[in-house]
Amino acid sequence: MVDRNLQNFYGRLGRIDKIHKAGGGFEAEGALGMSYYNARRRPVRRRGFLAPLVLVLMTIVLIKASVHAAIGAEQYEDRIAVLRDGGMADRAGAYILQADPLTLLISEQFGKFGL
Domain limits at 88?
50-112
As a whole-number percent, the residues of the chain with pLDDT over 90 amount to 55
pTM for the model stands at 0.58
pLDDT digits (tens, 9 = 90+) for 58-99: 999 999 999 999 999 999 999 999 999 999 999 999 999 999
Report the range of poorest mean pLDDT among 9-18, 20-29, 58-67, 106-115. Answer: 20-29
The answer to whether residue 76 sits within a structural domain is: yes
The answer to whether residue 95 sits within a structural domain is: yes
The answer to whether residue 13 sits within a structural domain is: no
Q: pLDDT value at position 1?
A: 60
**Three-class SS of 73-88:** HHHHHHHHHHHHCCCH
Q: Where are the alpha helices (DSSP H) in the chain?
A: 4-21, 34-40, 50-71, 73-84, 88-97, 101-112
What is the C-alpha separation between 46 and 44, in angstroms, rounded? 6
**Count of domains for the chain:** 1
The answer to whether residue 88 sits within a structural domain is: yes
